Structure 1
Amino acid sequence: MAATEFLTLLLVALGGFFFLAGTVGLLRFPDVYTRLHALTKADNLGLGLIVVGLALQAESWFVVGKLLLIWVLVLISGASVAHLIAHGALARGIRPWLR
């Protein structure tokens, strides 16, 4: 196995691990705000690792550019949606969890 293939496999596996960690955070954390935090942080990092891993296997810079554009669009949309959900929860009177 070539070094590039091994690095791709490692990055994609790490990305999958972060997606799994975000899902566990979604299921385990006590309130909407901490769940949003876990989900957006872990998913953004997981997708970034997967994009970098796939970019190593890309045949042209055009494909790498498309992968990076997808990642940037997901970053922007994820942050926007998380903000809207948190703002809606706050407007409904859902207070942040305090220990």
Structure 2
Amino acid sequence: MRVKSLAPLAVLAVLAACMSPVTYTRAQSPDLFQALDTRPDGYVGVVRSTGATYTIVSTRANSSRLCRVVTLKAPGDFQTESFCKSKGGEWR
């Protein structure tokens, strides 16, 4: 009986791992980060490393940070990410 009670937890752990969002870095997705650096809101591109399409939705800035909201779409996956950076820093 004890083994049966752990089975649903194991299934949930596997599903959570499969559904965790993809993390993007400049090294893995230079085209996305180039767009974050230079393209206007509304720009649509493709992340070559994953095949996901992205749209730069909006940009916000204050005296210390610049942030951009990006939607990323791939077959069976949809993410909305906020990328922010300090002046002279890297997108995170």
Q: Same fold (TM over 0.5)?
A: no
TM-score (norm 2): 0.29
More helix by share: 1
Which structure would you say has the larger Rg? 2
Higher relative contact order (CA 8 A, sep 6+): 1
TM-score (norm 1): 0.27
More strand by share: 2
